[in-house]
Amino acid sequence: MENCLFCKIIHGEIPAKKVFEDEKIIAFDDINPQAPIHILIIPKEHFASLNEIPEEKKDVLSHVLLKARQIAREKGVAKSGYRIVLNTARDSGQEVFHIHFHLLGGRKMLWPPG
């Protein structure tokens, strides 16, 4: 998508501190971290939100979650605990309309989240 912030990061038009990349996803540090570890994980294919992913692309979701687990291990938060957050649509707090998952860790998470 031409004006999508995350698509521009994927294409190298905007810099990001990458922590992981493969053929399907990219993961990078959030520029406004809400925890000591705050990484955004996004599919390289543009989908505005979870509501936009067609059934035949469901493998993208499992790929993101399995790589999130790997990143959590690499960042040293897998054993102590981490949170995966997916906001869908405006009322949830989604601000960038390219599906993205927040991996948060490095501190005790509170409940309810907000």
46 is catalytic: no
pLDDT value of position 90: 95
CB 86 within 8 A of CB 109: no
Please state, in angstroms and rounded to a whole number, the distance separating the CA atoms of residues 41 and 85: 10
pLDDT value of position 89: 96
Return the domain boundaries, the chain. Answer: 5-105
Tens digits of pLDDT across the chain (114 residues) = 679 999 999 999 999 999 999 999 999 999 999 999 999 999 999 999 999 999 999 999 999 999 999 999 999 999 999 999 999 999 999 999 999 999 999 999 999 875
pLDDT value of position 2: 77
Name the active-site residue from 46, 63, 98, 100.
100
Which is the CATH superfamily of the domain at 5-105? HIT-like (3.30.428.10)
pLDDT value of position 112: 86
